[in-house]
Amino acid sequence: MIFVFCHGKKTIMGIRDNNKYFLNNSENFIEKILNFIRHYSLLKIFCVFFETKTLMRNFKMRIKIKNLNCLAIYPLHFIGKKFKFRKLNSKIFKIGLLGSIQEINSRRDYNILLKAINALNKKLQKKIVLILLSKVKNGDKNPVIQELQKKIQSKIVYKKNYIEEIEYKKLTSSCHVLLSINKKQYGNSHKGTGSFFDAISSKKRLITNYRTDRKFEFKNFCYYYSNAYQLSIILKCLLSKNDKFRPLNRNLFTKYNNIQAKNKLIKLLC
């Protein structure tokens, strides 16, 4: 706060969770005070940026501050190292499960995944390979792994050690589709999710909950579900389509860039 009040007009700040700047958005007294301070600090700041245009629009609808400079800057990350893309196997369907693998009661809704896969017949289940795109602590002893292995017929592949960037890229490139199963409080209309940018950087389709993209900002490459039944229908459809293994047209991702944001920022700075 001292920095903001001293150098606010020179500050460009990123906001990842809009809720922390809304007044009276918490019942906790300390959080109310912190929200008020954060909200007031916006009056002093030169510019704020958001991870998506949807988050920026939703923020501006709730925050009534005139002349607040706002930008949407996609946090895209591309690895400079080149590697050989693996040819996708046509006999199995690899689903890359995004996010850290922690406990059953974590940020991920494993129940919705279990229900969706169990809604498929065993023949389809056995065609699925779940690629866990995060280090799995304790391996087979991890409660998430034990729960998944106990309740579904699909094969599960994971790494016990930290996954380096280039290895992560190889893993995502080996998947036919990526899947996000964030719970409601992690990825919604006021708090972003990095799953869109994982999909953009790897040029893959993404299955995600509808609430993460209510304005369909990323509809070019996303499939949306709201419950386990809808997720199972998407999986069944993908498993049944003859073209499911065909690479996605990479031109779909060209619109997700920061050229507009760069030009607007230059204009503000000048």
Please tell me the predicted confidence (pLDDT) of residue 113: 92
Residue 61 lies in domain: 2-73
Give the Cβ contact number of residue 175 at 10 Å.
23
233 within a domain of the structure (yes/no): yes
* Mean pLDDT value of segment 142-146: 82
How many independent structural domains does the chain possess?
2
256 within a domain of the structure (yes/no): no
Please tell me the predicted confidence (pLDDT) of residue 188: 75
User: Is the pLDDT score of 245 beyond 60?
Assistant: no
Residues 21 and 155 in one domain: no
Residues 211 and 155 in one domain: yes
61 within a domain of the structure (yes/no): yes
Please tell me the predicted confidence (pLDDT) of residue 244: 52
* Mean pLDDT value of segment 249-261: 83
* Mean pLDDT value of segment 136-151: 81
User: Is the pLDDT score of 103 beyond 70?
Assistant: no
User: Is the pLDDT score of 249 beyond 60?
Assistant: yes
Each as own residue / partner, the long-range contacts of residues 158-165 (CB below 8 Å, 24 or more positions apart, any chain) are 158/101, 158/131, 158/132, 158/134, 159/132, 159/134, 159/135, 160/135, 160/136, 161/135, 162/135, 163/133, 163/134, 163/135, 165/79
Reported as a single tens digit per residue, the pLDDT across 225-237 is: 999 999 999 999 9
Q: Please state the pTM of the whole predicted model.
A: 0.87
Q: Which amino acid is at 7?
A: H
Reported as a single tens digit per residue, the pLDDT across 187-207 is: 777 888 889 999 998 889 999
Please tell me the predicted confidence (pLDDT) of residue 130: 92
Position 252 confidence tier, pLDDT thresholds 50, 70, 90: confident
Query: Which CATH number does the domain housing residue 199 bear?
Result: 3.40.50.2000
Q: Considering the chain, what is the average pLDDT of its residues?
A: 85
Residues 11 and 107 in one domain: no
Q: Which amino acid is at 242?
A: N
Residues 115 and 242 in one domain: yes
Least confident of 34-38, 59-63, 78-82, 174-178: 78-82
